[in-house]
Structure 1
């Protein structure tokens, strides 16, 4: 089985936690498939794209370039499936050939957790809070810059979280 060393999407390197690359044979034809466990940030960035320019470097030094479609895979961890149709699967003789009737599919999620992924790249989400505070605190909050407030609340919540989890 070929091992993926690195992947670039539209020229930008992405961090890969686990991957599987193979040629998929179905009654409708052949496709080159690349399944990836990536960060939530990467999924969010590319999930609405239809076609991406992909560069895949394999451990043996081979490099595969292709324009591929993207699909977000359902599961517990953030996953992308990149795929494109192939005219001649023999061009990819160095990859495993998987038939639609085969039971071969590696469980990419095995041995990795969302916590490990978030240690590498933590996604940020917007949140809107509705609070009732004394007017002097409201005035102080309104006079702060958004970036400073984000950092202040982040530190406050992590400190509080540590105290509660003890």
Structure 2
């Protein structure tokens, strides 16, 4: 089976946790499909894109350059499905072929967890809090810069979680 070594999107290499590349045959035609487990940061970056310029390096040294359509697969781990139509499938003779009527599809989520992904690339999210505090604390908080407040709360939450766990 053909294996992926590295993937670049628009010239930028992305971290791929697991992948599967294969030929998908359906009544609509034949496509080259690339399924990738990536970080939530990568999903957030490309979720609004319809197509991406892809450079896929295979373990055997071959390189596939293609403009591919993007689907974000929901549920489970953060996963991209990229595909492009193929006219000439002769150069892909050693790729695994899947027919639309097959009951088997590659399961690339097996053996990896969201915690492992987040250890490599942790996404940041904005949050708004409604608090009721004494006026002097409110005035002090309003006087701080956003970056300082982010660090204060990160440290506080880490310390508080450790305290609860012990």
Shorter-chain TM-score tier: over 0.9
Please identify, of 67-76 and 48-57, the stretch whose mean Cα deviation from structure 2 is larger: 67-76
1:158 and 2:149 are equivalent in the alignment: no
**What is the correspondence of 1:94-133 to structure 2 with a 5 Å cutoff?**
94-133=94-133
Please identify, of 84-93 and 27-36, the stretch whose mean Cα deviation from structure 2 is larger: 84-93
**What is the correspondence of 1:142-153 to structure 2 with a 5 Å cutoff?**
142-153=142-153
Deviation of the 1:163 alpha carbon? 1.4
Give TM-score scaled by structure 2 length.
0.97
CA displacement, residues 94-136 of structure 1 (integer Å, 9 cap, x when unaligned): 3111111223312111110000000000000000001111111
Q: SS in structure 2 opposite 1:123?
A: coil
Please give the alpha-carbon distance, in whole angstroms, between the structure 2 residues aligned to 1:150 and 1:50.
Answer: 33
CA RMSD of aligned residues (A): 0.9
2:93 aligns with 93
Deviation of the 1:43 alpha carbon? 0.5
In structure 2, stretches of 5+ residues that fail to align are: none
Provide the aligned length of Structure 1 versus Structure 2: 166
Please give the alpha-carbon distance, in whole angstroms, between the structure 2 residues aligned to 1:141 and 1:44.
Answer: 30
Give TM-score scaled by structure 1 length.
0.97
Deviation of the 1:86 alpha carbon? 0.9
Please give the alpha-carbon distance, in whole angstroms, between the structure 2 residues aligned to 1:165 and 1:108.
Answer: 33
Please give the alpha-carbon distance, in whole angstroms, between the structure 2 residues aligned to 1:124 and 1:19.
Answer: 25
